[in-house]
Structure 1
Amino acid sequence: MTIIASLLRGAELPDSPTPRLDVELLLAAALGKPRSFLHTWPERIVSSEAAHLFEGYLQRRRTGEPVAYILGLQGFWNIDLEVATHTLIPRPETEMLVETALELLPGAIAHQLLDLGTGTGAIALSLAKDRPQWNITAVDRVDEAVELAERNRQRLNLDNATVLNSHWFSALEGRRFDVIISNPPYIASNDPHLVEGDVRFEPSSALVAGIDGMDDLRLIVSQAPAHLEPGGWLLLEHGYDQGAAVRDLLNSHGFEHIQTRRDLGDHERITFGRVPC
């Protein structure tokens, strides 16, 4: 017989940056229990079926496959999202976009928001849950991503969000929003990190944006003013070394009140600006 404590002690993930967390998430999933169960009941006997499933999860993680893809779920902000290999795994840094949007806009007004390149729907659905009076449109050009975001929307029962297929603004002619928000691809095509860690398993279309990583950021900044209401905001996530370039882009296209915020690693991570009123 095997108990929870023994499985936790014996599991090894030498190449993971967060081995203990990964082991606990995988074992909890194999048991169908929350992580707190592992520490509350360490002497609980684990069935052979659950132990076998856990070992299979460990083998996949040892090859480098991200935990989110193994489990098919990822927590983000205040929701749990279904994830799949054709979308980027939502990351904690991206929660800064959600936090900033909530800070910039009064909650009581029925604002119109647009999430460009929504992927799993992480940003749009987090905002939709926190602000049920807002109307949020989420778009992506990848059919599988649109279907995934729509499944997440339905599962979370968020009727104030709409998911559409659109290559950036292509399906949004004539529409304007109070806020446009995006975590677009921003990695350079020759970046060595593309062959390291979890990123190896994620779709390049959600990561790479030209030789300098700025292609999609340039397109969004140039086209966003035509889709923003007077005084509307554009919020962008970008690479740790792209803050100055994004600020210059926003300034050159007439944006005002331009600011950049740093993530917990003290890297410039999001930049935002406002079109004139």
Structure 2
Amino acid sequence: MRKRLGLAGIAGSIAVALLLLITGSVSDLVGAATFLFSAGFRRWVQENSLLVFWAGVTLVVVLTVYVLVLHRMVTDGKKRESKLIQTHQGELAERDERLESVAADLKKSQTELAELRAEPTPHDCDLFQRFLDDFPQDRGTVEYLTKWFSGESWDIDRFGELYEFCATWSLNTFFDDEEVQAALTALQEKCTDFRVGVASESFRDLGDPDDGTRVLKRDRFESNRQFKAKARELEGLADRLLEAHNSLVKIGRSKRLYRSRPGKNGPPS
């Protein structure tokens, strides 16, 4: 009976020592190691090898179960974390989609509001129609400058609309729309540049001095190269005038500065 109690005590001590080795503090680890490597423990192991074997097997099983449970806990934790991340990412994606939708609706509303605010005034519509009548795009001076003007000779009788525009469209003529007004000012400047440039180089054609033909005199230049350069300069002034005129017409029509009634300069098709 005492022998059994002694074995049970030693077995209990072994179990406690092993547990201390696994989970104990530094002082506990030292005490457990001293016990396990003592002469008494070695003698007991020799006398109870079968018990030690099964104790070892039991310990391995316990440790294996512990490791498996720990691994399962870690795995489950990672799965929960991954699921939470996926859920959060899905919520973020949905939020981004909603924000994009709101931004698109806001942009659309702002565009519609800008269009409503940009509704042309009757004054601008009337003034733009007057401009199309006074300085048309498809005939008169513009047509002549586009198709037939040359920096070496030109017909001043074809500049009627240009001269009329410079005389009647003074700097006191304003559009309410700032962009259209800026285009008008640019055109007025280009018309003045062209008119001054041509006037300073206009000489009657000696072959027919009674008509409106004016020429760039060759004998005023030291070389033909200088003569050609001056001719190109005058043509450049004409091109810039045409660009400014086209810009004003394009901006005015984009802003719907035209009457709904059909006319010779009505809205574009």
Whichever structure has more strand as a proportion of its residues is 1
Q: TM-score range by the shorter chain?
A: under 0.3
| Structure-2-length-normalised TM-score | 0.23
| Structure-1-length-normalised TM-score | 0.22
Whichever structure has more helix as a proportion of its residues is 2
Which structure is richer in relative contact order (CA contacts within 8 A, separation 6 or more)?
Answer: 2
